[in-house]
Amino acid sequence: MVTVDSFDAFLFNASRALCSPLAVFIQIQGCLIVLILALGWALAAYVRGREIRRMKSSMKSGNSFAFLTLDINELEHSNQANLPRVTVVMPLKGFGEHNLHNWRSQITSLYGGPLEFLFVVESTADPAYHAVKCLLADFKDAVEAKVIVAGLSTTCSQKIHNQLVGVDQMHKDTKYVLFLDDDVRLHPGSIGALTTEMEKNPDIFIQTGYPLDLPSGTLGSYCIYGYHMPCSMGFATGGKTFFLWGGCMMMHANDFRTDRHCVVSGLRDGGYSDDMTLAAIAGAHKRLITSPPVAVFPHPLATDLTFPRYWNYLRKQTFVLESYTTKVNWIMNRALFTSHCYLSWGFVSPYVMAGIHVAAALRHYLKENSLEGTVMTCNGLLLVVCLAVCTVIELLSMWNLTRIEVHLCNMLSPEAPQLSLASYNWCLVFIAMLVDNFLYPLSAMRSHLSQSINWSGIRYHLKDGKICKIDRHKHLVPKITDLAGKDLLGKQGSIPKVAIISTLSRTLAQWRQPKKYNI
């Protein structure tokens, strides 16, 4: 039986052991990781904040359409008439609580050039099929859009298959194709901003953006937020980046028509992850990936996002590192795998050690132990204080970036309900970061050992980094998806209830025409 005295002795000895050179190094390293995160978020906040200042300056100069463009002359009809055609391809799967709002934000874009929307589903049995049909019927001729049934994938992931089917059916005059996930909530000027950058710099291979997670209050939703935030600094460069998010990717349509750099064959022949595959192609051919500072999109998470659903999402995220196209790509993925696992547990370990130091110090204080015992723990307490200070700096930097991104999203979507930081629970944010970083290596190791994953009811098996086998069975299909809580099954032939589109949405759809600006 473990007595109180023996437990106290264990705490004291553990605290003393954690003052060894190796343990001190781990704790100092943890402080450095925390400070590096804080610095990265501070730089990202500067880039996003600079765009806010530019928009405010433009508004003070009389440009009331600064949320669309900083140069009001670009809204002249003569300029709008020369805008290139853009095709938006949206692979869909299931129907959830935020889908209608997201789809409306996409099809009511205020882009002044020719614009078509292709909603691509696996089959008519998908609940998303009837929901989109009802939505488009309500808009009637206000937008150029259609629903495409892609059928089942056989050589790649279903998402990639849907994307390629959409590309095959895009308009012959399309210059740029924009791939969007159905959980992306666009701003009215997002498509225009992406297109403008593509026109300014023809060397751009892919333009991308990144989501701003809006946690719903559950620990699972905060874990998603904690997982995405470190990645967000790689997308807040205001220009060139090495990162790519599959939820928003604008590319040259001709790259797909001509299969340039094998973008079509690379995706079609065993492709599992669209963004990882395209990022590998861009790296292999030294092509440019950029992320404009305005490309940050609100991403509301499901109100019932449970912890097991977060774990399923994390499994899918770590599994992408098992897919690759070339030997170099494999080496890079292994480097990412190793470094991410090392840094994740390097982040968590100092907090575990700090907990032991604090527990030992409290026990010695409460039992009024000798001065010798107090001295033995003082070095540990000094490290605890340093870690606490670094943690406060980190959370403040994280809060500041989130605050600025919320402000930027509100400015870019002045007609939408305003976002707020009031709902964020920063104690849960801290806990979620510890949980996420502790679980990431476990998820990555499991993905590496299994070489298979269940993605929305389809089990993909990898061999040499590519999909080699696809299993489809009814028992594999979960009732709902991970993040958005989308219904994947529905009832055969049933039509999801779709609310009547408001007058404001109708007006917004018409407002995107250049002649309506009256400038």
88 part of a folded domain: yes
Residue 335 belongs to domain spanning: 1-489
**Reading across the β-sheet that carries 144-149, which strands appear in turn?**
144-149, 115-121, 86-91, 176-180, 248-252, 204-208, 288-290
In the chain, % of residues over pLDDT 90? 63
Q: Is 508 a member of any domain?
A: no
**Which pLDDT tens digit goes with each residue over 436-483?**
999 999 999 999 999 999 887 889 999 999 999 999 877 666 665 556
Q: What is the mean pLDDT of residues 63-78?
A: 88
Q: What pairs with residue 453 in β-bridges?
A: 460
CATH code of the domain containing 57? 3.90.550.10
DSSP 150-185: ----SSS-HHHHHHHHHHHTS-TT--EEEEE-TT--
- Residue in 301, 272, 261 with CA at minimum distance from that of residue 461: 272
Name the pTM for this structure.
0.87
* pLDDT computed for residue 493 by the predictor: 40
80 or 482, greater pLDDT = 80
Neighbours of 492 (CB within 10 A): 7
Q: What is the pLDDT of residues 274-317, one digit of tens each?
A: 999 999 999 999 999 999 999 999 998 888 888 888 998 999 99
pLDDT at residue 475 in the model: 63
Q: Which secondary structure element, helix H or strand E, spans residue 115, and what is its range?
A: strand 115-121
**What's the pLDDT tens digit per position in 350-360?**
999 999 888 88
Distance CA 25, CA 349 (A): 11
Domain count within the chain: 1
d(CA 177, CA 168): 11
Q: Which residue in 454, 481, 499, 468 sits closest to 126, CA to CA? A: 481
Tell whether 299 is covered by a domain. Answer: yes
Name 214's bridge partners. Answer: 300
Residue 468, burial from CB neighbour count under 10 angstroms (0-12, 13-18, 19+): middle
Per-residue pLDDT tens over the stretch 174-216: 999 999 998 888 999 999 999 999 999 999 999 999 999 999 8
| Exposed / middle / buried, residue 312 (Cβ in 10 Å: 0-12, 13-18, 19+) | buried
Q: Domain for residue 209, yes or no?
A: yes
Listed range (21-25, 331-335, 412-416, 492-496) with the worst mean pLDDT: 492-496
pLDDT, greater one: 11 or 498: 11
